[in-house]
A and B are shown apart, each in its own frame.
Chain A
Amino acid sequence: MLLPKFDFDEPATVSEACEILAEFGAKAKVIAGGTDLTVNMKKKLLSPERLVSIARVPELQRVDASSTMLKLGPCVTIANIAESGEIGKRWGAICAGAKALGSPLVRNRATVGGNLGSARPAGDMPPSLMAYGARVVLTKKSGQRVVFLDNFFRGPGLTEIAPEEIMTEIQVDAPPPHAGAGYINLGLRSSCDCNIVNVASYLVLEGPGGPIKEARIVMGCVGPTQRRAVSAEKALIGKKPCEALFTRAGEAAMTDSTPIDDFRGSAAYKKEMVKVLTRRTLAAAFEEALKS
């Protein structure tokens, strides 16, 4: 397969990149690792006239984990996240998502910004980041805005990013005491797979052992975008965490999901797996919350 012809820019700074995007708008596409974009270009699903690479902009590759917040540049590679001890310690479910993505070769090139920006319903990074309540900073020539990931995805391949904007940062608050999270992805094989269902859960307890103060459950592969299992979350708030509660939440999450039959699996199976993975990720989140 051949790549179609395109022009290529490699700006050194964010402002330079914004200038280029302001000029070319929808005719240009931002490229970071290119693991998704170049494949789609070879398949002729996308044919941008111009690629603007942000891979050489130093400030977009920073990892900054402070006591209150994790800031990730969009060009941080998935491999870096998977291997990061400081992310793993406080945001373990993000690392779990990174470890589940692709193969070592893909993880070395693919970036966190790319995995969010490509907006695949089965992506490995969105559920955990959403569960932690992450936000993205979108920058253009004339200014900046911050968008919660909850409001970021618009459909398969579609996001809030306007043609002249670049994602310049991903922000995740540090979990408070007595908080925990879990991520589980289910595919056919053990790596290099496209998920059948993936779920991330996040819990904050009032104190050691509960009750549950805050809950966020994010489901992938069961709708055009990742979505929160709202009724499952509601069922958890104020309750004392236990296996039976997590089972009930799993059942509620099924009703929050809207999977379709496709060649990867039937809608009925995917719903069933939402139940199982919700319960299991809640259990993992609770276990972590007890330790923190």
Chain B
Amino acid sequence: MGNFEVINSRASRIDSPAKATGSALYVDDIKMPGMLYGAMLQSPVAHARIKSIDVSAAARLPGVKAVVTAKEAGLVKFGVSPARYDETLFCHDKVRHHGDNVAAVAAVDLETAMHALSLIQVDYEELPVLITIEEATAEGAPLVHDGYPRNICAEIHQEFGNVKEAFKECDLIKTTTFVNKRQDAAFIEPQGCIAHFDIFGNLTLYSSTQSVHYVQRTVAMVLGLPIGKVRVVKPYVGAGFGPKAAANHLEPAACLLSMKTGKPVKMNFEREQVFMHSRGRHQFFHKFTTGVKKDGTIMGLDHECYLNGGAYTSFGIGTVYYAGSLLGGPYKLRNMKYDGYRVYTNLPACGAQRGHGGVAARAGWEQQLDMIAEELGMDPFDLRQKNMLVAGDVTCNGLKISSFGMPECLEAVRSGSDWKSKKGKLPRGKGIGMACGFFESGAGYPSYPSDTYHDTVLVKLAEDGGSALVLSASAEIGQGSDTALAMIVAEGLGIPLEMVRVQSGDTDFGVDLGAHSSRQTLMTGHAAKEAAEDARRQVIEVLSEELKTSAQDMDIKNGVVKFKMEKPDFTPLRTRYIKEHRGWLDNPATDDELSFREASRIAFLSRGTIVGKGKYKPPVPGGSSKGATVGTSPAYGCSAQVVELSVDEETGKITIEQMTDAHDCGLAINRTSVEAQMQGSFSMGLGEALFEEVKFDSKGRLINGDLAEYKIPSCLDMPKIKSIIVESNEPNGPYGAKEVGEGAIMPTIPAILNAVYDAVGVRIYELPMTPERICTAIKEYKEKRIDAEYEDQSKRNRAGSSIRLYD
């Protein structure tokens, strides 16, 4: 790895001062002259035919400026994937989940808007509510959407290699199941937006989003506007974790209300509405059958998965593919069969959340590998090391591994956690467990079929020469991408970080698919690097002309022009610069090196504004099978974690005590941000493992739609964390960088599962591991142990698992 001036360091984030002082503006902080407040009318029932909607009383209420329903909005269908555009802005024939959108109101203040909502009369004819996969796929069940028999929204059948044949060579074949619960991303800022349709017919939408590009397309399509008339701007955003990567209904609704009234319209979701519309993690029902040889060689995986999708598809096509394809790594899996089903139900729609589609699959399978290791008498580390992919491998499902620091990750957590002296040696009630992770660095394809560049970046040098401005449509949502881009541009230009400013999150600045699938550091980073180098090239070209020195003999480092050969006489340039700056106190002294500031000013005087352009489109062909495009990526990150915990056997309460985590991010642009992603991922994984579950009553109505009853981890639930960065220098990444944002969550849940087993001998096949679930499992385990007193010790605790031995 090279010698870097800016990147690979610990930079303070460029957005910290604004956030720390409260001057950072989020959507709800923004007010505009004449601004109206909008609110959505949402269905109180989970499944019903709409017989009539009467808005007349609401429209008559003083202060109400517009009321819109499907009649005004039209019935343009939209969604995430064009193959399943199954939503309209407002429901017209029926509502499909509790909270489905029926109408919207704009009024002079929120109180009036809320009052108006209560005056809208909707006549519902209730229909049977489908909550579970069994109910939805039952013979004769009503259809959530016409045209999808048995409510199967998407069905995937893939086989790479031949699993059946492979199993014939196996010494051990093991089947286990695993189920997680619907998880809400619980980002701290609910979705919100302000739409302003001006008198020239231009629409500007300020929105709390992860992707201004996808929102721009959706809004233009739904409202029938030319895309050039729609500008989407992202203010500061309080996180997203996936759900904000697609347009939400507030966005086109606020736009429509602004078009009707000619005034800016602000709309926000309340926390309960976030639960109804955030489209976070699905509930997955997995069944894994894995075959291994005695020496631990994994021969094949037969994998079946059902997803409870909720009422709309959202990201679901991607989710059901990812649930299968992401098990293609990090192990050499020679044969893999996958049957995935995503099922429509009358619950709010699920979508994408950190580790898209792969988190529950990883959890269930890594637990099974732990069981296999035990039955083979192998250390779990050794089983994994034996099967690990290496750089240059192509997985059986066509994923190309161009860098892979997995051995380093394993070694780092094995020694970092002192595994050897703890595994199998801790007292009962205390346990240690490990697991590995694997994730892409950005999706190979956009969510709609297109040859578009995924990212464009402009680097504009200030005409006075003193700074560089980065213009990008990428999305800083709290993860630190603006800082990473600034660092990449500073490195590429050869100037200090303080000289770089970033303007991002605006469709006026270009195309960027946004912050999702762990893509921005690698993909936007590529475009930023190219733009910076383009600007630098132009400055050096002008210098070359002015100083009659070859461009190859010049370099810019840390804001200073370096001459590799003899230093030319640049006094005339300096004289020109100083002449233009009479009275300035910071002009260069005679003996100073030639500065970037002087050089870029001279470049402007010669050529006008210097603008560097960068673009990126991943060079990924993808496999030949249907759906093989999901999971293809220019690079793959990998990780390993060790968790130490204690279990209170009487109450069932788990306390996570220590976590050791290693992640291969290729090259850390900002080391502090990489560690923060690792730790944040752990927190989210811990929550899904131990606490989180969105709950509904028997009629499909949300029970715990607030952050008091939906429990994400508190600071006090976080253990001591040792984060170890592994750098494998990814050839397809800018300066060698690849993902850390999502892959880091992968090993967390299974490491906890495996540590629980180590502590108290129970295997858990259903999340979350609440005290009650653990307590019950321990009780069953103890009862079984009494029953099986004379049985082989190794056969203990079979709940949810079965073994066939071929000997």
Contacts and interface: CB of A to CB of B under 8 A. Distances in A.
A263 B703 contact: yes
Interface stretch (A78-86, A124-132, A154-162, A183-191): A183-191
A193 B712 CA distance: 10
Contact of B690 (A103, A188, A194, A269): A188
Contact of A190 (B114, B703, B709, B716): B716
A290 interface: no
A189 B114 contact: no
Nearest to A196: B771
12 contacts: A2-B110, A103-B714, A188-B691, A188-B770, A189-B711, A191-B715, A192-B708, A193-B714, A196-B771, A269-B771, A276-B650, A276-B651
Interface string B672-715: 00000000000000000011000100000001100011010111
A263 B695 CA distance: 8
A273 B711 contact: no
Interface string A108-127: 00000000000000000000
A69 to B, nearest CB: 33
Interface of B: 110-111, 114, 270, 650-651, 653, 690-691, 695, 703-704, 708-709, 711, 713-717, 770-772, 775-776
A190 B714 contact: yes
Contacts of B110: 2
A263 B771 CA distance: 14
Chain A, interface size category, equals: 10 to 19
Contact of B704 (A190, A263, A265, A276): A263
Contacts of A265: 770, 772
Contacts of B270: 1
A269 B775 contact: yes
Nearest to A266: B772
A64 interface: no
Contacts of B114: 2
A9 interface: no
A235 to B, nearest CB: 20
A2 B111 contact: yes
A272 interface: yes
A193 B561 CA distance: 59
B276 to A, nearest CB: 15
B772 A189 contact: no
A209 to B, nearest CB: 26
Contacts of A273: 651
A152 B651 CA distance: 30
Contact of A188 (B650, B771, B775): B771
A190 B772 contact: no
A273 B650 CA distance: 8
A193 B687 CA distance: 14
B805 to A, nearest CB: 37
Interface of A: 1-2, 103, 186, 188-194, 196, 263, 265-266, 269, 272-273, 276
Given A186-B651, A186-B653, A188-B690, A269 B704 contact: no
Nearest to B714: A191
Contacts of A191: 714-717
A79 to B, nearest CB: 16
A276 B652 CA distance: 11
Contacts of B713: 189
Contacts of B709: 194, 263
A251 to B, nearest CB: 13
B505 to A, nearest CB: 28
Contacts of A263: 695, 703-704, 709
Contacts of B653: 186
A272 B775 contact: yes
A229 B715 CA distance: 34
Given A194-B709, A263-B703, A263-B704, A189 B651 contact: no
B634 to A, nearest CB: 39
A266 B653 CA distance: 15
A191 B708 CA distance: 11
Nearest to A43: B706
Nearest to A103: B714
B695 A189 contact: no
Nearest to B693: A263
Nearest to B653: A186
A263 B713 CA distance: 18
A268 to B, nearest CB: 9
A146 to B, nearest CB: 34
B521 to A, nearest CB: 32
Q: Which of A2, A188, A190 has the most CB of B within 10 A?
A: A188
B325 to A, nearest CB: 33
Contacts of A192: 708, 714
A189 B114 CA distance: 35
Contacts of A196: 771-772
B118 to A, nearest CB: 11
A189, A193, A194: which has the most chain B beta carbons within 10 Å? A189
A276 B650 CA distance: 7
Contacts of B690: 188-189
Contacts of A186: 651, 653, 771
A34 to B, nearest CB: 15
A194 B704 CA distance: 12
Contacts of A190: 714, 716-717
Contacts of B704: 263
Contacts of A2: 110-111, 114
A271 to B, nearest CB: 12
Contacts of B651: 186, 273, 276
A2 B711 CA distance: 23
Contacts of B714: 103, 189-193
A247 to B, nearest CB: 11
B58 to A, nearest CB: 17
A276 B778 CA distance: 15
Given A263-B695, A269-B772, A273-B651, A193 B711 contact: yes
A276 B779 CA distance: 14
A2 to B, nearest CB: 6
Nearest to B696: A263
A186 B651 CA distance: 8
A243 to B, nearest CB: 13
Nearest to B650: A276
Contacts of B716: 189-191
Contacts of A193: 711, 714
A269 B652 CA distance: 10
Nearest to B773: A269
Contacts of B715: 191
B691 A189 contact: yes
A190 to B, nearest CB: 4
Contacts of A103: 714
A6 to B, nearest CB: 13
A257 to B, nearest CB: 15
Q: What are the 5 closest A-B residue pairs judged by CB atoms, nearest first?
A: A190-B716, A269-B772, A191-B714, A276-B650, A191-B716
Contacts of B111: 2
Nearest to B775: A269
B708 A269 contact: no
B751 to A, nearest CB: 19
Nearest to B715: A191
B273 to A, nearest CB: 10
Given A2-B110, A263-B695, A273-B651, 13 more contacts: A2-B111, A188-B691, A189-B711, A189-B717, A191-B714, A192-B714, A194-B708, A196-B772, A263-B709, A269-B772, A269-B776, A272-B775, A276-B651
B238 to A, nearest CB: 17
A192 B653 CA distance: 16
B767 to A, nearest CB: 13
Contacts of A269: 771-772, 775-776
A188 B711 CA distance: 8
A103 to B, nearest CB: 7
A102 B11 CA distance: 35
A256 to B, nearest CB: 19
A258 to B, nearest CB: 18
A49 B715 CA distance: 38
